[in-house]
Amino acid sequence: MADDTLINTLAGIVRSGAPLILAATGETFTERAGVVNLSLDGSLMLAGLAGFVIAFNTQSLILGTAAAIVVGATIALIVAASSIELKQSQVAVGFILTLLCRDLAIFLGTSYRGKAGLPAPHLDIPLLRDIPIAGPILFQQDVFTYLSFAVIIFAWFWIYRTRPGLILRSVGERPPTTFARGGNVNRLRYLYTALGGALVGLAGATYTLNIAPGWNDSAIIGNGWIALAIVIFGGWYPVRVAFGVYLVAGLRTLASGLQANGIPIALLNAIPWLLMIVTLLAVSGPYLDRLLKILPSRLHPLVRTLLRARPPAALGTIFEQEGQK
């Protein structure tokens, strides 16, 4: 029976990690194209609210999810357009949108507090569900969780195994090169920012339609920032990002277990944020280089792959395309 508890816990971690996977992978796409969409904490909430309200009023999960995706993509496009067309700082616009979307969600959501949601149905995958251990953890889940798996695989494949993925990486690293080779830098930036925003919107819907069906702003708040930090911790690699998400989800489950032991909840709630600072220090601080000096050189490539985080070189910059000022 102890095995069952462990398997249930792991399945719970995978399920609760789904929205963070979707949001962080979406932001990875966006940032790989050189755009920072800092609005995640607010857009998760507004998209989540839109998803819940539409699903509640139409009794359709699909329409609700679609609404959330549209909201997420629209917010992301505001960031892209104000950077590309209006030359405004992505950080400034993103930060203001964080506050605006959050407050708008809280304002518009007041009448939807406490209304019962419609949870996404469980959907076991035949054959795969019967694999011992992995079956119950991975394949006896719901649609949103399966989507999160698909997104990890798709992101890795797209970025590293396809030609458009190669171009995407070059847009984020050296936009002039992309332009010289005939790529339309700003159009690609619009495209990937919208894609990233759509995934963030889907993540918002995952909160209000799956993780905790219903509208509860305090269940979402803060997660956008965690997702943004995980993108850095993941070094802009989709698979490492996914690893970071499950690490965070696992530690949260562990922390909620500790709560029973009488440790004040306020201190436990501070742990993820302490962890965020520590991991950011580990991947971007000077400590990695010091660690590499101590370790034998055979281990260097492994440690670098696991811990090195170098942002795309053109992240947050504005690309002035010739002939189109």
Q: Considering the complex, state which of residue 93 and residue 185 has its C-beta at the smaller distance from another protein.
A: 93
Does 290 contact another protein by CB under 8 A? Answer: no
Residues 59-98 that bind another protein (CB under 8 A): 82, 85-89, 91-93, 95-97
Q: Considering the complex, state which of residue 38 and residue 241 has its C-beta at the smaller distance from another protein.
A: 38
d(CA 66, CA 84): 26
Does 100 contact another protein by CB under 8 A? Answer: yes
Among 181, 293, 298, 325, binds another protein (CB under 8 A): 325
Does 291 contact another protein by CB under 8 A? Answer: no
d(CA 257, CA 157): 36
* Type of residue numbered 109: G
Does 277 contact another protein by CB under 8 A? Answer: yes
Does 219 contact another protein by CB under 8 A? Answer: no
Among 280, 291, 292, 306, binds another protein (CB under 8 A): 280
d(CA 9, CA 12): 5
Does 270 contact another protein by CB under 8 A? Answer: yes
Give the distance from CA 205 to its chain's centroid.
Answer: 13
Which strand (E) or helix (H) includes residue 123? strand 122-124
The 10 Å CB-count burial string (b at 16+, else e) for 249-260 is bbebeebeeeee
Non-local (6+) Cβ contacts of 298 within 8 A are none
Among 134, 274, 295, 303, binds another protein (CB under 8 A): 274
DSSP symbols for 82-130:
HHHTT---HHHHHHHHHHHHHHHHHHHHGGGBT----PPPEEEPTTGGG
Asked whether the beta carbons of 151 and 22 are under 8 A apart, the reply is yes
Asked whether the beta carbons of 51 and 209 are under 8 A apart, the reply is yes
Q: Considering the complex, state which of residue 123 and residue 274 has its C-beta at the smaller distance from another protein.
A: 274
Q: Give the residue carrying structure tokens 């950077």.
A: 83
* Type of residue numbered 210: N
Does 222 contact another protein by CB under 8 A? Answer: yes
* Type of residue numbered 206: T
Which strand (E) or helix (H) includes residue 141? strand 140-142
- Which residues pair with residue 124 across a beta bridge? 140
Total residues binding another protein (CB under 8 A): 45
Does 143 contact another protein by CB under 8 A? Answer: no
| Termini Cα distance of the chain | 66
Please state the closest distance from residue 78 (CB atom) to another protein, in A.
Answer: 8
Asked whether the beta carbons of 49 and 290 are under 8 A apart, the reply is no
Q: Tell me how crowded residue 23 is: count the other CB atoms within 10 A of its CB.
A: 34
Give the distance from CA 19 to its chain's centroid.
Answer: 7
Please state the closest distance from residue 92 (CB atom) to another protein, in A.
Answer: 6
Does 103 contact another protein by CB under 8 A? Answer: yes
Please state the closest distance from residue 283 (CB atom) to another protein, in A.
Answer: 9
Does 212 contact another protein by CB under 8 A? Answer: no
Q: Considering the complex, state which of residue 89 and residue 253 has its C-beta at the smaller distance from another protein.
A: 89
Grouping H, G, I as helix, E, B as strand and the rest as coil, residue 192 is helix
Please state the closest distance from residue 20 (CB atom) to another protein, in A.
Answer: 16
* Interaction mask 19-58, another protein, x per CB under 8 A: -------------------x--------------------
Does 200 contact another protein by CB under 8 A? Answer: no
Does 286 contact another protein by CB under 8 A? Answer: yes
Does 135 contact another protein by CB under 8 A? Answer: no
Contacting residues toward another protein, per CB under 8 A: 38, 82, 85-89, 91-93, 95-97, 99-100, 103-104, 106-108, 110-111, 222, 225, 228-229, 232, 264, 266-267, 269-270, 272-274, 276-277, 280-281, 284-287, 316, 325
